[in-house]
Structure 1
Amino acid sequence: MRTTTSLIALLGAVALFGCSSSEPGPGPETPEDQGLEPPAEGAGVQYRMVSTIEPGQEVERCQLFVAPPEGLNISREVVRFSSGSHHVLLYATPYTEIPTETQRGVTLDATQVHDCSDGPQADWEVTGVVAGSQSPDGNSFLGELPEGVALKVAPGTVLLMNTHYLNASSAPLETDARINLYTIADEEVKVEAGMLFHYNPFISVPPRGESSARMRCTTDEDISVVRIQSHMHRRGVGYVAHKVDLDGKMTELYAHDKWEGVPSQEFSPFLEVKAGEALDYRCDFKNTEDRDIAQGLTTKDEMCMLIGPYFPRSKAYENCRTNEGFDASTWFGSGKTTCAEAFSCINSVTPGDDAAFYGCIVNTCEKVGPHFSEALNCQTSGAYGACDEDCGQSAEACNTCILAACAPEMDACEAATCD
C-alpha cells in the first residue's frame, strides 16, 4: 500500500496554477462596453491585450510584460474587457527578463499576444495572482485596498496577462482587455498586502455524474481579508466558503452557483482570521459529458479556487504552504472510502490516469480528511525534505526513506475510519 513514487510524479505536475507602459498598445477601437483610460502619469500603469477570435473558437491567450524599474505598490485595480471572456488575469512570475522559450521548449516572442490554450502555467511559471476579474464590468480580484495598504510587485518582475475568450458567433470577434493598476509611493505604504490563491488539485467528476472538491487552509498568522472570490469552469454548479474558528465552528462567508459573471464577497469590516483559524471552501460539479472530468489547466478540465486580497502578507499562506514551502492543505472527500482504502486506490491507478487518481481522494469520507491529508503531504514532500538525499539516488531509496519517515502518519491513516 505504501508505494509513493507514483504520488510524487502525479502531484509534481500540479502547479499553480514587452515592457510596461501607461499607454495602450496597438489594437482595435475600444468596445463601447469596455472603455478604460490608463491611469494618469505617475499614478499607475495599464496592461492591455487585444486579439481576434475566429468564429466558433474558444481560446486562452497570453502576453508577457515587465514591471517598471521602480516596482509597483498597487493600492487599487480596475479591470475592463470586451464581452465573450470568462476571465482576465494578471499573474506574477519568477522571471526577471522575458523568456524567449516556453517551458515546453517552444521559441516565441512572448511580448506579443500568443495562444496558451493548455493554460498559461503549461508554458510559463507563475507565482501568484496580482490582479484580474471574471466579470467584464467589475468585481475584480484586488479591487481597492485600505489606505496605506498595497500589494507590491518587485522592480522588473515579468507579469503574465491571460484572457479566455469564446466566440459563439459566425463573425470574427475583436477583443480588448485592460487592467489598470493604481499605485502609491513607497513612503505611503504602511502594510504589504497579498493575494490568496488557494487551489484544490483534487477534482474528479464521473461521466454524467456529480462530485465535490473541498479544501481547508489554516493560517499561522493573524490576517485581515478584504474580499474573496471563487473560480471554477463550466461544470461548477455550486460554491461555498466558510471560516473555521479555533473550536471548529464553521461560519458561512460566501455562497453562489455561478462559474462565470462570478460575484465577489466584500467584507466590511474586514474578515479577521486569527492564527490557528482556517478558510474552508467547496466546489460542487455536475458533468453532462460522457467522459471523466478531472482537475487541470484547460477549459476541458475543472478548477476549484479561492482568491482574494488580504493583509499583512503571509507568503506561505497565500498558496496554502508552510514557511518551508511544503503543502499545508487539508482535503475532504465527499464519498465513503477510508484513508487506507484511498491509498490502496492510489497505488492501483494506471500512471497518467488523472481522473482515477484524483477520484481516490474525492471518494474518501469527510471524517478521514485530516488523516489522509497529513499522510499524503508527508509522502509527496519527501517527508518534508528529510528524504531529499535518498530521493536523489533512486526510486527505491526514496520510497524506503519516505515509508520509514512517514510511518506515524500512515499508521494514523490506517486506523482512521468513517464511523
Structure 2
Amino acid sequence: MVTLKTFLFYREREGVSKGSRNDYDRTLKQGPKEGFRASDDFGFEAQSLKKAAHHILLFGCEEPGSDEETWDCGEMNTDGKGQSTPCAGWPRILYAWAMNAPPLDLPKDVGFEIGGATRIRHLVLQIHYASVTPFEDGSTDNSGLTLKVTDAPQRYKAGTYFMGADGKIPAKSKVHLETACSYDEEPRLFPFAFRVHAHSLGEVISGYRIQEGEEWTEIGKQDPQLPQMFYPIEEKGLVIQAGDVLAARCTMNNYKDKTVMIGPTMSDEMCNFYMMYFTDSPHLPENDICFNGAGFKWKDYFENIPDKEASELPAKQEETDEKPTEMKMDSMEKDES
C-alpha cells in the first residue's frame, strides 16, 4: 500500500505593500527528512486567481536563500539590494505556473525526487504578484501550490530545464530574443512537456534541439497569451544527449511608444521556455539553466535556422474565459536506442 502525502504551500499573505504593483515573495517550507518520489498520481495544482498571482515558481534547494519565512527575492535566481535568491547556491526549478493554468499530472513511473539523499532539502515557492490592488481593502492572499508525493520508488527521475533570454524590445517594433546552450552532460533527457512565459508583448515562444549545428527538431512552441500550462510534447521519442544544443526564441511585438526591457516587473518583459523531462540515469544533470545576454543571435552560431516556423503558430488559438481542463500526460515509452 502506498501512502500519498500532501504538502500544501498555502498561507494567508500579509503585509503586502500597497505602494508596490509588482511583488516577489517566497514562502519557505522544510523538505522531508526521508526521501520521497512522485508517482503517476503525483502532480502540481496552483491555488490562485490570475488577478493576484501572475506566476509562481517552485524551487528545490539544498539551503534556502534566507532564514526568514518570507523574503523579497527579485526575479528568478537573481538578487539585489535588500533581496536574497530563492536558494543559497545550487537551485533547481521544479515547476512553474501562470495564467490560470490547470493542474498537471506526471506520466506513469516518472517523478521528481526530493529529500532523502538528494540535494533538495528545502522547497521554496516564489510568487510574482501582478498587482496589489486586490489587497488594498485589507484582504489577504492564499496563492500557493498543492503537491502530492509518495515514498514508492519510481522508474524515471523527472526534471525541468529552463531557457531564458535577456534583451530589449524597441518601441513599435517586432524582434526576436534568442538563447542557446550546449548540453554536455551524461544523463539522456526524454522531454515530455513544455511551457512558455512572457508578458503582454510575447507572440510566440519556441524551443528546439539542434544537432551538428544545423539539424533542428522542435520541442514545442506556443502563444504565451494563452494559459501558461505545461503542454505535451508532440515529437514522440525525442532525446537530448551530450553534444546536442538546446535553443529557444521569443517573438516579441512592441506596440508601445517606449522601449521595453527584459526584467522582473509587469512593465518589463520576460522570455522563458521550460522543458520538463525524465531520465533513465541515476542522477539529473548538474546544470539545467540556459540564459544568454542581450545581443545573442542564432544566426551567429547555427545554420538552417527554421526562421518562419520558430516565429509563427499554425493557426491563431482563441483564449476562453473557462479554466482549461486538468492536464494528464500519457505514459511515456522511451527510445531504448
Whether the TM-score (by the shorter chain) exceeds 0.5 is yes
Instruction: Determine whether 1:77 maps to 2:43.
Output: yes
User: Helix, strand or coil for the counterpart of 1:138?
Assistant: coil
Please identify which structure carries the higher strand content: 2
Question: Which residue is equivalent to 1:121?
Answer: 78
Contact 2:196–2:222 under 8 Å retained in 1:
no
Q: Map residues 96-111 of structure 1 onto 2, 5 A cutoff.
A: 99-100=66-67, 110-111=68-69
Per-residue deviation, 1:300? 3.9
Q: What is the root-mean-square deviation in Å for CA atoms of aligned residues?
A: 3.4
1:315 aligns with 2:277: no
Secondary structure, counterpart of 1:311 in structure 2 = strand
Is the CA contact (8 Å cut-off) linking 1:55 and 1:173 kept in structure 2? no
**CA distance in 1: counterparts of 2:97 and 2:237, whole angstroms:** 21
**Alignment size in residue pairs:** 278
TM-score norm. by structure 2 comes to 0.69
The yes-or-no answer on 1:150 pairing with 2:111 is: yes
Within 5 A, what are the aligned runs for 1:58-73?
58-73=22-37
Say whether residues 1:204 and 2:168 are aligned partners: yes
Asked if 1:296 is matched to 2:263, the reply is yes
Partner of 1:130: 94
Q: Does 1:193 align with 2:163?
A: no
> Is 1:283 paired with 2:259?
no
Contact kept, 8 Å, 2:11 with 2:143, in 1: the verdict is yes
Higher helix share: 1
1:157-306 equivalence runs, <5 A: 157-165=121-129, 166-167=131-132, 171=137, 173-185=139-151, 188-200=153-165, 202-220=166-184, 221-246=187-212, 248-259=214-225, 261-267=227-233, 270-275=236-241, 276-306=243-273
SS of the residue aligned with 1:367?
Answer: helix
Answer yes or no: is the 8 Å Cα contact 1:81–1:175 preserved in 2: no
The Cα of 1:117 is off from its aligned counterpart by 5.4
In 2, the alpha carbon distance for the partners of 1:368 and 1:132 equals 31
Per the TM alignment, residue 274 of structure 1 is displaced from its structure 2 partner at its CA by 4.2
Cα distance in structure 1, aligned partners of 2:237 and 2:138: 44
Rounded Cα–Cα distance in structure 1 between residues aligned with 2:45 and 2:6: 13
Letter in 1 for 2:36: L
> Quick one: distance in 1 between partners of 2:202 and 2:234?
27
Structure with the greater relative contact order (CA < 8 A, sep ≥ 6): 1 or 2? 2
C-alpha displacement of 1:227: 0.3
Please give the secondary structure, in 1, of the residue aligned with 2:300: helix
1:318-355 per-residue CA deviation (whole Å, 9 max, x = no partner) reads 224xxxxxxxx7x6xxxxxxxxxxxxxxxxxxxxxxxx
Q: Is the 8 A contact 1:121 1:297 kept in 2?
A: no
* Cα shift readout 1:35-75 (whole Å, capped 9, x = no counterpart): xxxxx965342222432565984322221111011143234
The runs of 5 or more residues in structure 1 that have no matched partner are: 1-39, 101-109, 321-328, 332-357, 372-419
Match of 1:91 among 46, 53, 59: 59
Structure 1 residues 226-252: Cα deviation after superposition (integer angstroms, max 9, x where no partner) = 201112233322212233345733243
Question: Cα distance 1:369–1:64, how it changes in 2: closer, same or farther (>3 A)?
Answer: same
Verify the 8 A CA contact 1:81 1:136 in the aligned structure 2. no
Q: Confirm whether residue 368 of structure 1 aligns to residue 300 of structure 2.
A: yes
Structure 1 residue 283: Cα displacement: 0.6
The SS at the match of 2:268 is coil
Q: Specify whether residues 234 and 128 from structure 1 end up closer, same or farther in structure 2 by C-alpha distance, changes over 3 A only.
A: farther
Counterpart-to-counterpart distance in 2, 1:51 and 1:79 = 18
Q: Partner letter of residue 87 of structure 1? A: H
Shift of the 44–263 alpha-carbon distance from structure 1 to 2, 3 Å rule, reads closer
Q: Larger Cα Rg: Structure 1 or Structure 2?
A: 1
| AA of the residue aligned to 1:248 | E
Contact 1:242–1:250 (CA<8 Å) still a contact in 2?
A: yes
What fraction of aligned residue pairs are identical, expressed as a percent?
17
Shift in CA distance, 215/55, structure 1 to aligned 2, threshold 3 Å: closer
